[in-house]
Amino acid sequence: MKRTFVAAAALALIIGCSQNTITGRNQLSLYNEADIQSMAASEYTQFLSQNKVVASTANKDAEMVRRVGQRLTSAINSYYASKGLSQELEGYKWEYNLVDSKEVNAWCMPGGKIVVYTGLLPITQNEAALAVVMGHEIAHALAKHGNERMSQATVQQLGGVALSVAIANKTPEAQNLFMSAYGVGSQVGALLPFSRKQELEADHYGLIFAAMAGYDPQQAIPLWERMAAAGNGQKPPEILSTHPAEATRIDKLRELMPEALKYYKPIGK
């Protein structure tokens, strides 16, 4: 039995590795992107139906989330087009929603399904910092980190067997794995943490996208300082359950800043 599991896992690792077109890194991607986007659309609709969505037509914060999302989307489309990779965004139907919740959280599912929680806004404090967070979350989705985390967890749990069947049929096991991988609430059990490499990639491209959208990427430094302070002496923000607050993070952000600033053109200039 053990040999069968090891063999299945090894086979999954061999056939499931692919190179991400943006990061250039080889990563384990056992799930079909079209199937994941289909599940994302379904789970996103269900999530919105079960939570209080703040209408952008009557709320300045919801309008801000929509505005930041649209500017980031435009920047991302331009970035991918400049790399000759526009086809990578096929199937993306962007949505940006603000949800009334005290949780300090935000996430982006494959296909551009984004949610920001109202509990995050007292920490972001301004539009540029919100753009940094949303750019970071979008970068996780574009870098297919959720697929990678799901794939790694599946190899550990199932040996990489019957993957496409599980996701295509939207089995409860696949749904729980999906929600855990994308950080959609703690009710699904233990959330799958991002690796340091995934976090650095999300920081890197998130800063670039925010800068291209006209937002000052330097707002990332005080943002993450506020985020870390919010977790001192109490339960850390939900977003930090999947985004580890490392002592070296701000130093890494400072290292990335010169490149991000090359893309920065303030809105209206």
First to last CA, the chain: 64
CA atoms of 180 and 242, how far apart (whole Å): 9
Closest CA to 123 of 107, 100, 102: 102
- Spatial CB neighbours of 205, under 8 Å, sequence gap ≥ 6: 22, 23, 135, 139, 142, 143
Q: Which residue has the tokens 């929603």?
A: 97
β pairing state of 95-99 and 53-54 = antiparallel
- Name which of 21, 63, 31, 29 is nearest 164 in CA terms: 31
Query: What does DSSP say about strands 17-19 and 53-54: parallel, antiparallel, or unpaired?
Result: unpaired
CA distance 135 to 140: 9
**Active-site residue numbers?**
137
Per-position b or e across 38-64, b if 16+ CB within 10 A of its CB: bbbbebbeebeeeeeebebeeeeebeb
β-bridge mates for residue 17, sequence order: 28
